[in-house]
Amino acid sequence: MAKLEAVIGRYCYLTVDGVEYRVYFEENGRGIPLLCQHTAGSDGRQWRHLLNDPEVTSKYRVIVPDLPYHGKSLPPQSVDWWKAEYKLTKSFFIDFLVELKHCLELKRPAFIGCSMGGNLALDLALERPDEFKAVIGLEGADYTPGLDIIWFNHPRISGEFKFANLYESTAPAGPENNRREIGWVYSQSAPPVFRGDLYYYSREHNLTGQLGRIDTSRIPVYLLCGEYDFASTPEMCRRTASQIKGAKYTLMEGLGHFPVAENYQLFKRYLMPVLNEIANMR
Amino acid sequence: MKICFLKPRKLKLIPGKVNDDPEFKLSARYMTRNVLLSAGESQCIFKICDGQVSELVLNPSPMEPWDFFIKAPEKSWEIFLQPLPPPFYHSLFGASIREDFQFGGNIEAMFAHYWALQRMLSILRQIQNE
């Protein structure tokens, strides 16, 4: 008998700024919708452990999209995308997630995102607080400048650099295969995608001085940060949380920039209290 | 504790251990570069030719050519080379953007061969702790 996962993959069509996108997503589970956003230059494969965790999927309908240009979500058909530099903008990122929510007819899903997805959690909390039940930002902060470096998209630097660089963004004592898998997925993205995503991560996302406007009575905010994360450090994450009244911050010992993918069993110890708290909210 | 690439006894072990490593062999296949590792006042040039460490030059003269360097205080190298380094010293990139590691010279070449460089530093970490 075939060994099959319960996870299923499908495509949906949605329109952002007048452009139609064919969007791949995977899902599993029943209950509160949980929209999961992958990191810059990667795709939804990062969430495979969470998608397969019955403790989560017994309470949550876990939904993992690939952003357009990432993974199995191809660039749009109606645009000459090869004539312009790929750049993820803040407005597109927010509109895409909200449109996906509407397209799948999700009623107040919870949102969880890592790295640029962690930054997006903060942007959603500020700009679209009534669309989501709660946001969980992993490895995110108010401002994460300086990482959109030229070497992530250069004709003489191969994907091997991404393979190595993202591998070492994980904590050193984690399972070696998982750490390598993160690098593997990064080395597979189209050349401009990672740096193009970092346009949002390191430039457009900047909530300096604006965090006080996030109202956690409308949208609870959880921020979790891996001890070994040098991109969005625990200090940056803690400082961010301290400026949002009612936000909850957790330091995750023994984890790096990719907690959900690099060491899921360890990450789960920090995640479940948050998911249980959200599940018990009215 | 002195760091392995400055200690003549340990230095001798480096070419064999690095050149025999399967991951280094794979990642360094197209690498012919001279890499300067600098720790405080001391330096060592790793000459890599066709993916193999061909020569190590301890405390080279200024006339000795190199392509790019990685530089940190000796104390920071000791932290970096611990078996399980503390946060940010676990990664060359992290140690440079958040701690006191620096690199320079032809950094395009450094990033082109980053995987091989990373693997070589991991092997140095092993040798340091043997």
What local confidence, expressed as pLDDT, does residue B1 receive? 58
Our CA-based measurement puts residue B115 at a distance from the nearest CA of chain A, in whole angstroms, of 5
Residue with tokens 């061969």: B113
* Interface residue B118 vs chain A (CB under 8 A): yes
Strands (E) across chain B are located at 33-39, 42-49, 52-58, 68-72, 102-105
Our CA-based measurement puts residue A71 at a distance from the nearest CA of chain B, in whole angstroms, of 23
Residue with tokens 């330091």: A251
Task: List pLDDT tens digits, range A65-93.
Answer: 999 999 999 999 999 999 999 999 999 99
* Interface residue B85 vs chain A (CB under 8 A): yes
Q: Once rounded to an integer, what is the mean pLDDT over residues B50-71?
A: 97
- Helices (H) then strands (E): counts for chain A: 10, 8
Our CA-based measurement puts residue B61 at a distance from the nearest CA of chain A, in whole angstroms, of 31
* Interface residue B91 vs chain A (CB under 8 A): yes
* Interface residue B87 vs chain A (CB under 8 A): yes
Query: What are φ and ψ of residue A241, in 5° steps?
Result: -60, -35
Of B94, B97, B115, the CB nearest to A164: B115
Task: List pLDDT tens digits, range B22-57.
Answer: 999 999 999 999 999 999 999 999 999 999 999 999
Taking an 8 Å cut-off on Cβ atoms, the answer to whether A161 and B93 are in contact is no
CA of B80: which chain A residue's CA is closest? A172
What local confidence, expressed as pLDDT, does residue A163 receive? 98
What confidence tier does A222 reach under pLDDT thresholds 50, 70, 90?
very high
* Interface residue B30 vs chain A (CB under 8 A): no
List domains and CATH numbers for chain B: 4-128 (3.30.1050.10)
* Interface residue B16 vs chain A (CB under 8 A): no
Question: Residue A218 CA to chain centroid, in angstroms?
Answer: 22
Task: List pLDDT tens digits, range A9-26.
Answer: 999 999 999 999 999 999
Cα–Cα distance, A32 to A61 (Å, whole number): 6
Taking an 8 Å cut-off on Cβ atoms, the answer to whether B94 and A230 are in contact is yes
What local confidence, expressed as pLDDT, does residue B91 receive? 97
Residue with tokens 């690199």: B103
Taking an 8 Å cut-off on Cβ atoms, the answer to whether A169 and B27 are in contact is no
Question: What are the residue boundaries of the structural domains of chain A, listed by start?
Answer: 11-279
Report yes or no: A75 and A193 within 8 Å, Cβ to Cβ: no
Give me A241's structure tokens: 């949380």
ipTM of the complex: 0.95
- Is pLDDT above 70 for A233? yes
Cα–Cα distance, A204 to A144 (Å, whole number): 10
Which chain B residues contact residue A152 at CB under 8 A? Answer: none
What local confidence, expressed as pLDDT, does residue A166 receive? 98
Question: Which of A168, A186, A187 should one mutate to test binding to chain B, selecting the residue with the greatest count of B CBs within 10 A?
Answer: A168
What confidence tier does A265 reach under pLDDT thresholds 50, 70, 90?
very high
What confidence tier does A282 reach under pLDDT thresholds 50, 70, 90?
confident
* Interface residue B31 vs chain A (CB under 8 A): no
CATH number for domain A11-279, candidates 3.40.50.1820, 1.10.3720.10, 3.40.720.10, 3.40.47.10: 3.40.50.1820
Which chain B residues contact residue A154 at CB under 8 A? Answer: 108, 111
Predicted structure pTM score? 0.97
Q: Once rounded to an integer, what is the mean pLDDT over residues A208-236?
A: 98
Task: List pLDDT tens digits, range A172-194.
Answer: 999 999 999 999 999 999 999 99
Nearest to B124 by CA among B44, B66, B62: B44
Chain A to chain B, count of Cβ pairs less than 8 Å apart?
A: 57
Q: What percentage of chain A reaches a pLDDT higher than 90? A: 100
Q: Once rounded to an integer, what is the mean pLDDT over residues A41-69?
A: 98
CB atoms inside a 10 Å sphere around CB A282: 3
Cα–Cα distance, A37 to A87 (Å, whole number): 17
- Is pLDDT above 90 for B121? yes
Of B27, B91, B107, the CB nearest to A168: B91
- Is pLDDT above 90 for B78? yes
* Interface residue B105 vs chain A (CB under 8 A): no
Q: Once rounded to an integer, what is the mean pLDDT over residues A128-156?
A: 97
Kind plus residue range of the DSSP H or E element containing B65: none
Task: List pLDDT tens digits, range B80-110.
Answer: 999 999 999 999 999 999 999 999 999 999 9
CA of A168: which chain B residue's CA is closest? B91
Nearest to B125 by CA among A172, A180, A177: A172
